[in-house]
Amino acid sequence: MLGKSFASPLLTYNYAPRTFFSTLDVVTGTATGNIALLNVNSRCQNGMKVSWTSCSSSSSKKWVLHSTAQIENTIVTEEDKKRWEACREALSSYKFSSEEADKILGKAFGQVHSPYWGEERRKVVPKLEIVNEILDYLRSLNLSDDDLAKVLKKFPEVLGCDLENEIKANVQILEKEWEIKGKTLRNLLLRNPRLLGYNIDCKGDCAAQCTRCWARF
C-alpha cells in the first residue's frame, strides 16, 4: 500500500521596519475539493515579514459557498430539487449539515468537480434509492454510522460508484484474493475507502487513471 506524503508550508522571512498589518487573499480551488488555499502575508511590529501558502480549515466555508452555488446553478427543476433534498436528508442521519451533505453529493454526482473522476463524471441528480442501497451495503460491512460518516468525509465519491460492478466487486476481490474480511476489512475501509471505487489494474503499464487503479493498493 502506498504511504502518505505530507507537504509542509513554505516559509520566507523578510525584514522591513513596518508597522503591523495583515492581508488575506483567498483563492478558491477545486483541485482537491476539500478546502481552499490561503495566501497570507503579514508584517509584525518587529519588522519581520512572514509569507506562506497553506491549507486552512477557516477557508472551508468559502469552499462550501462556492460549491453550493455550483449545485444551485445546475439543479433547477422542482423534481430535481425534491430528489436532491431527499438524498440530503438521508445524509443528515450521519450528523452532516445541509452544506456538508451538499458537498458530499456534489462530489459524488459530478455537480462539483472532483479529480477522482477526471473528466468522465457527468452531472446527474442522485436518486434516494441508489444512495440508500450503497449506505445499507456499507453498513453490512460492519461499519457503524460513525464509521460511515468518516468514510463519506474521506471518500464522498463512493455514493457515485456502481454498487454491483465496483463496490461489491472490489469487496469480493479483497475477501477472495487478499483474505481481507470482517474487522480487518472495516479497518482498511476506514483507512482507505477509495479502493471501493477502483475499476482498473494497469499492472505497471500506466493507463492514466491512477485515482481508480489497483496499483495504488
3-state secondary structure of 50: strand
Number of other residues whose CB lies within 10 A of the CB of residue 210: 13
Predicted TM-score (pTM) of this structure: 0.68
- pLDDT, mean over the chain: 75
Amino acid at 31: A
Looking at residue 167, its pLDDT comes to: 97
> Per-residue confidence at 175, pLDDT binned at 50, 70, 90?
very high
- Interior angle at CA 156, CA 76 and CA 131, nearest 5: 65
Which residues are within 8 A (CB) of 131 and not within 5 positions of it... i.e. 6 or more apart? 87, 90, 91, 159
pLDDT at 200 over 70: no
Report the pLDDT value the prediction gives residue 198, as an integer from 0 to 100.
87
Q: What is the pLDDT of residue 138?
A: 98
Averaged pLDDT, 144-161? 97
Q: Which amino acid is at 1?
A: M
The residues that bridge with 178 in the sheet, in sequence order, are: none
**For the ranges 47-61, 64-78, 122-136, which has the lowest average pLDDT?**
47-61
Between CA 111 and CA 34 the distance in angstroms is 14
